[in-house]
């Protein structure tokens, strides 16, 4: 039986994905460039940024490193104020 995502999971995925997109665009990085650096296709990176799917912790850590932020920044509600 497949695991169903809760509303909280969807909201969190959307928050993290939106923060990844914001930071990527802030640094003038393309989706494809970020995807290659963390081991995803650009299509999967798009789904992550759109909040349609979650990202493995290892790849989230790589995203944070590539984007030059702390891991907890990716789940921050006030990312816009920090960067």
At 5, the pLDDT band (50, 70, 90 cuts) reads low
**Position 39 pLDDT exceeds 60:** yes
Question: What distances in angstroms separate CA 40 from CA 23, 33, 62, 63, 83, one per listed residue?
Answer: 17, 10, 11, 11, 24
Cα torsion angle, 37, 41, 43, 44, sign: negative
pTM as predicted: 0.88
Give me the pLDDT at residue 54, please.
87
C-alpha–C-alpha distance, residues 77 and 15, integer Å? 8
Instruction: Go through the domains of the chain in sequence order and give each one's CATH number.
Output: 7-73 (1.10.260.40)
**Average pLDDT of span 46-75:** 94
Give me the pLDDT at residue 6, please.
82
Which tokens hold the place of 82? Answer: 């920090």
**Position 18 pLDDT exceeds 70:** yes
C-alpha–C-alpha distance, residues 73 and 16, integer Å? 9
């Amino acid at each position: 039986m497949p695991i169903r995502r809760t509303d909280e999971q969807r909201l969190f995925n959307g928050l993290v994905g939106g923060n990844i997109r914001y930071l990527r665009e802030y640094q003038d990085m393309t989706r494809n460039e970020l995807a290659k650096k963390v081991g995803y296709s650009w299509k999967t990176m798009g789904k992550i940024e759109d909040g349609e799917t979650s990202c493995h912790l290892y790849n989230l850590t790589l995203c944070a490193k590539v984007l030059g932020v702390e891991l907890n920044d990716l789940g921050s509600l006030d990312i816009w104020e920090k960067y």
